[in-house]
Amino acid sequence: MLAVLSPGQGSQKPGFLAPWLDLPGAEARLRWWSALAGADLIHLGTRADADEIKDTARTQPLLVAAALLAAEHLPMHDVGLVAGHSVGELGAAALAGVLPAESAVTLAGVRGREMAAACALEPTGMAAVLGGDPDEVIAALTALGLHPANRNGAGQIVAAGAVDALDKLAAEPPARTRVIRLQVAGAFHTPYMAPAETALAAVAAGVPASAPARILLSNLDGAPAGHGPETVRRLVRQVTAPVRWDLCMRSLADLGVTGVIELPPAGTLAGLVKRELKGEGAPEIVTLNTPADLPAARRLIARHAGPAARPAAPPFRVVVSPAAGRLDRSAAPAEGAGVRTGQVVGHIATGRGQVEVTAHDNGSLVEWLAHHDDPVAPGQPLVRIGGTH
């Protein structure tokens, strides 16, 4: 099976769209999408400097437009799976057939503007924590009041929150880690973005959505998306929820992906996949940055093409936390045990009492993704349910 990946914010480079404007119809397409996004995408992708395309309000629609423009020149009917990182999910949703391209670009414009406005409300930021034990890193972030905004696998967790807390993290990093401050406007994928989520939800509620025509992995839990409107709600929820790219990559392996194409501006996601999925069975990867890379991408598709139709039932589901609190697994079924729809598999201890965690499908409890007594956030993946039992 072949996967096409759409990158997120931070992957942009000055002038990266310039070569694509030589293709027939590309400039006209970008002018139309510029009107929808409320930003001059041609200027941003060709002449703007690094500071200008660092602006969240401009970068987000630019990245979605770039991915969709390049994908128009690929035989996407032969692609079995798509996924995107952060705002890249909007591009992936369009490639999966959930959204029209115009809706994806429009929502990216709204998302970018509203997230930029949320960033201006108080001083927040992000920092990459490289290395260390993941559980120890998460515990250190929690103690400082920080959030694991991105869990990118390959020994990389991105912390987000108040600037003073990030300063403390940099001064006393967790054992065997290196902390790198990121040049971003604020704490993306955390509760600080709640005003942006509310504003995006108001617009997204009127967007028509269809069921995916191919597998679309969700940043929320790495699971394949299902019903169209529910997928749009997940895209909105992702503004404040952590990006679980580690679980998306695990799904690439679980689903037997043998080839990967990263859309422009390519390199970041390909690097994460290369570091995480290595050894025997590692996927073949093509980074698509200019039209000169199209022949290699098309050859990869020809070698690894899988069924484009979405499977009737995903091979697994992920149960997420219904509330903020601490996970109680004291009476939980063991890994490998059979579970049924609606069965209670755990509880969240909150300030208002216990909240049940229930299975939403019949199958086997494949793997716990959080430990007993861990602090958890709403929407955080807790356990994987797979197969039938």
User: Two tokens at 31?
Assistant: 């002018």
Give the separation between CA 159 and CA 136, rounded to whole angstroms.
13
On whether the CB atoms of residues 83 and 210 are closer than 8 A, the answer is no
Which one of the listed residues 6, 11, 86, 251 is annotated catalytic? 86
Residue 361, amino acid: D
Active site residue 364: no
Cα-based torsion angle of the residue sequence 336, 339, 343, 344 in order, rounded to the nearest 10 degrees = 0
On whether the CB atoms of residues 246 and 157 are closer than 8 A, the answer is no
Burial status of residue 40 (CB atoms within 10 A of its CB: 0-12, 13-18, 19 or more): middle
Evaluated on CA atoms 7, 11, 14, 16, the torsion sign reads negative
Active site residue 86: yes
User: Two tokens at 249?
Assistant: 């990559």
Q: Which residue has the tokens 């705002």?
A: 87
Q: Is 243 helix (H, G, I), strand (E, B) or coil?
A: strand
The 8-class DSSP code of residue 85 comes to S
Which one of the listed residues 189, 218, 304, 321 is annotated catalytic? 189
Give exposure, 50-78, as e/b (b: 16+ Cβ within 10 Å): eeebbbbbbbbbbbbbbbbbbbeebebeb
Long-range CB contact pairs, 72-78, < 8 A, 24+: 72/29, 73/23, 73/291, 73/294, 74/4, 74/261, 74/288, 74/294, 74/297, 74/298, 74/301, 75/298, 75/301, 76/4, 76/308, 77/308, 78/2, 78/301, 78/302, 78/305, 78/306, 78/308
Q: Which residue has the tokens 């009737």?
A: 312
Q: What amino acid positions are annotated as catalytic residues? A: 86, 189
